[in-house]
Amino acid sequence: MIDDKTADAILQTKLDAISAKHLHVKRLDWLRKWNKLVDFLAIAVPAIYFTFRILAKGTAAGPFIEHIWEVLAGFLLVLTILKVAYGWQERAQKHGTLLGENIGLAGQAGNLLSERQTVSPESARLFFLLAESIEGNDRELFGRLSEEDRKYAYREGLKELKVDCTRCKSSPWEFIPGSCQQCGNTPKS
Ligand SMILES: [Zn+2]
């Protein structure tokens, strides 16, 4: 059996895991978009260049094509350097892994809470250990989160759990940017 205090902590952990899930999805979407663009340009830029070069050979458009090529090649080079230097591919993989782990953690929290009368305190202890390890990996990958991102993720977590903000009592569905430090909403008076 799990006491009320532990149940509250499990619910809070569930909310944190769902919030983290939304942050991972956001980062993953961004990284996938840019990774795809770099991969596409790496094929498209040379292909287009060679086609146009053959077509424009000996015509007045030749120098113009060369000029466009230089700009596109420069752009592609910058993107490729950014992709490698910031490890976009590896980061996307890590976000994907942690996304799955947070979903699993939130599910496990749900199971513990629905069976709280029969669950042993030992199971709860193991759950918190796992949560701690996943949260540590989240923090390492996210680095310093902006306030905006943190509040956005928190609101998405509230929506998923269908609850109001515990601090300002506002509903995450009615968002008017405000002073709440936890969810960024306007406190309900
Ligand atoms: Zn709030």
DSSP secondary structure letters along 65-95: HHHHHHHHHHHHHHHHHHHHHTTHHHHHHHH
Encoding tokens for residue 152? Answer: 């956005």
Distance 58 CA to ligand 1 centre (A): 67
Looking at the predicted structure, is the pLDDT value of residue 27 above 80? yes
Distance 176 CA to ligand 1 centre (A): 11
The pLDDT tens digits for 129-176 are 999 999 999 999 999 999 999 999 999 999 999 999 999 999 999 999
User: Is the Cα torsion angle 42, 48, 53, 59 positive or negative in sign?
Assistant: negative
Of residues 49 and 80, more confidently modeled? 80
pLDDT of residue 97: 98
Asked whether 19 and 156 are in contact (CB, 8 A), the reply is yes
Residue 50 pLDDT class (50, 70, 90 cuts):
confident
pLDDT of residue 92: 96
State the average pLDDT over residues 81-110.
96
Looking at the predicted structure, is the pLDDT value of residue 189 above 80? no
Distance 18 CA to ligand 1 centre (A): 16
Residue 177: strand, helix, or coil: strand
pLDDT of residue 14: 97
CA gap 137, 92 in Å, rounded: 14
Residue 83 pLDDT class (50, 70, 90 cuts):
very high
Distance 175 CA to ligand 1 centre (A): 10
pLDDT of residue 56: 83
Residue 117: count other Cβ atoms within 10 Å of its Cβ.
Answer: 7
Average pLDDT of the residues of the chain: 94
CA gap 99, 95 in Å, rounded: 6
pLDDT of residue 53: 84
Residue 107 pLDDT class (50, 70, 90 cuts):
very high
Query: pTM for this one?
Result: 0.85
pLDDT of residue 113: 96
175: left (phi over 0), alpha (psi -120 to 50) or beta: beta
Own/partner long-range contacts of 159-164 (Cβ < 8 Å, ≥24 apart) = 160/18, 161/11, 161/14, 161/15, 161/18, 164/188
Asked whether 20 and 153 are in contact (CB, 8 A), the reply is yes
Distance 157 CA to ligand 1 centre (A): 12
Asked whether 115 and 1 are in contact (CB, 8 A), the reply is no
pLDDT of residue 131: 98
CA end-to-end span of the chain:
37
Distance 43 CA to ligand 1 centre (A): 47
